[in-house]
Amino acid sequence: MSQIKKDLICEVIRISQINLLRKKKGSDGKECDEKTMVEWVKNHAADYREDFRTRLQVLSTTELGEILKGLTRSGKELSEILDAEQAVPSQPGSLPANP
């Protein structure tokens, strides 16, 4: 795997985690305290990164770039984007569904 692809995967996961933590912070109309956020990172961040790293490795750098753009624009979390892609039948130019 090229260094560019590795870097793209890391950036996609990083932005997704930021978006996820922002949602956690604002969910239920009340903000999570810093302790809750730190606990989530300690207990879940490594598994989150590893799961998505595995899922993203099959994609091309172009597809990863499109996902990164989508995460940045939408504020969505990676599973929302990947799950949406699986639900839509494959069309020319669309991202492939993950196995």
Q: Determine contact, residues 21/77, Cβ cutoff 8 Å.
A: no
Mean per-residue pLDDT of the chain: 80
Per-residue pLDDT at 37 exceeds 70:
yes
Per-residue pLDDT at 59 exceeds 90:
yes
The encoded tokens of residue 17 equal: 């985690």
Q: How far is the CA of 17 from the CAs of 2, 77, 90, 92, in angstroms?
A: 23, 7, 26, 29
Q: What is the mean pLDDT of residues 38-53?
A: 87
- Residue scoring higher pLDDT (99 or 93): 93
Q: What is the mean pLDDT of residues 38-60?
A: 88
- pTM of full prediction above 0.85: no
